Structure 1
């Protein structure tokens, strides 16, 4: 069966990085991993060779695959397919999209045209040096500390403009409502017309407010489903749908099919071992 290790860090980066997960697997059967859409940007520093990925299984495994040792992913509406080799290791970050200017040097919307972007195209050559330093370290806590320090220095030196306060407040409002609020209620809250708000929001994030709300709602539902697996209980999808603000069970299933290209039970069958190993929110934690 091979081995899997997942270690989570609590980043000290003022909310700019929502989560950091160190992973190491060995003795696995090579397969394709689905990187699911979420309301966060994804940054991966590989500690064991290159990452190969694409927007479809054929692209991820073919000559058109994006191959890189540092991967950056924007906010997207369909899975990213990544090749999972026999052994791999790395650190995966979930970055708040409104922190993209500070940490990446560009707005999140700039990443929306490509489903996978090479990290050095975003961070520059210094990131490759940081990756080499990460590979040379033995302890997860030291790796997290090194990466956090690098990102903190980038944020301190950032000069990529400011996020408009209306957009920042709109994102915070959607997050407080877990994606269940209406666009009309949101536009009234930030005192902008729906059209103006949508234009500003999309220019910053690459998504409309409605698309961002759907991603937030799906993220909460997916996390609730994963928690039932870690608790060794059968998932009650109707209850999850109601708690996450879906109209009904069928509405939840439709979002799962769009964002995972699988049914909820199909996704669980594929991800069950990763969930139990800690890839979806459990496991040892470090402060970073």
Structure 2
């Protein structure tokens, strides 16, 4: 019998110092008694690794529409430019890990490019250690304890023999530093590579072309800015200008392409999550 008690927890954790640059953050979540809804898994400059604690995560639609819906106890998602749709049946719990794409070889054993646009069962990528991490997560008494489990697990997986082309690393960091506002020609000039070589090597390592990565980085900054100041007078036009779009109409088109809906509709859908801290501003 339902007790009518609503649980809505969202806890952000920082990885161990040895994981900085590989893992951006941990996000723990637990919800009970909230309305049944559908959540949009939006494009982001981070790979997603989710380990659930109780119920599986139900993906109703993947970024690649050819992939069938499914339930996952643990999931790895590559970079993508269209949303996933996740069904939330009034209760969910787990930890989401934001992985830097340049750290994929170190922690996952394969480049982020191998996961581009895909959602996969984590055990198919990471092997049986996922089940071991699951058991330890569920046994941990609180969020700090769960984050400590993740630290130990990921540090145990980290490889020290990974070498990444410095040109790809430089291009990715420059895209991130400029919020996606730098063009491919300027990126290539900074690496000494031709534009074609940069596009090919970058896409193979990261999973997106430099141009697509720039769009995702700018979109991610935009939606976090929107979540941080949803009621600002004239906020959308100002946000569009701040993020380097030509105008608000340009921003709206990009938002529709990457979120599947306009900014105002996304904000209305996600207001509960934003207010409870499930969408902390970047």
Shared fold per TM-score greater than 0.5 = yes
Q: Could you tell me how far 1:68 is from its partner in structure 2?
A: 1.7
- The CA deviation at 1:158 is 5.5
Task: State the distance in 1 between where 2:144 and 2:198 align.
Answer: 41
Distance in 2 separating the partners of 1:48 and 1:247:
44
CA distance in 2, matches of 1:178, 1:196: 22
Aligned to 2:73: 69
How far apart are the structure 2 equivalents of 1:184 and 1:15?
26
Residues 1:51 and 2:57 aligned together? yes
How do 1:190-201 residues align onto structure 2 when only pairs under 5 Å count?
190-201=191-202
Distance 2:80 2:270 in 1: 20
Native 8 Å contact 1:103 1:158 kept in 2: no
| 8 Å contact kept, 1:167–1:197 | yes
Q: Write the distance in 1 (CA, Å) between the matches of 2:233 and 2:41.
A: 24
Q: CA deviation at 1:30?
A: 2.3
Find the counterpart in structure 2 of residue 240 from structure 1.
Answer: 239
1:122-181 superposed Cα distances (whole Å, 9 cap, x missing partner)? 1110111111110112210000011111101211x455x422111001001111111001
| Root mean square deviation, CA, Å | 2.0
Partner residue of 2:94 out of 62, 87, 90: 90
Distance 1:106 1:235, change over 3 A: farther
**Partner of residue 170, structure 2:** 169
- With 234-243 and 262-271 compared, the bigger mean Cα shift is at 234-243
Partner Cα distance (2:243, 2:117) in 1 = 29
CA deviation profile, 1:42-62 (whole Å, cap 9, x unmatched): 1101001212214359x89xx
Aligned length: 274
Give the Cα–Cα distance (whole angstroms) in 2 for the partners of residues 118 and 54 of structure 1.
Answer: 15
1:206 and 2:207 aligned: yes
Do 2:51 and 2:134's aligned partners in 1 also have CA atoms closer than 8 Å?
yes
* Highest RCO, 1 vs 2 (Cα 8 Å, sep ≥ 6): 1
Query: Do 1:70 and 1:119's aligned partners in 2 also have CA atoms closer than 8 Å?
Result: yes
Bigger CA drift: 261-270 or 8-17? 8-17
Gaps of 5+ in 2: none
Alpha-carbon shift at residue 281 of structure 1 (Å): 1.2
* Matched ranges for 1:151-166 at <5 A: 151-155=154-158, 157=159, 161-166=162-167
**1:213-236 deviation line (CA, Å, top 9, x unaligned):** 01111111111111113xx54561
**Does residue 225 in structure 1 map to residue 206 in structure 2?**
no
Q: What secondary structure sits across from 1:5 in the alignment? A: strand
1:31 Cα deviation after fit: 2.2
**Residue 246 (structure 1) shift:** 1.0
Correspondence list, 1:1-288, <5 A: 2-12=6-16, 13-55=19-61, 64-112=68-116, 114=118, 116-155=119-158, 157=159, 161-229=162-230, 233-234=232-233, 236-281=235-280
Instruction: Report the 3-state secondary structure (helix = DSSP H, G, I; strand = E; otherwise coil) of the residue aligned with 1:83.
Output: strand
Q: Does the aligned pair in 2 maintain the 1:39–1:215 contact within 8 Å?
A: yes
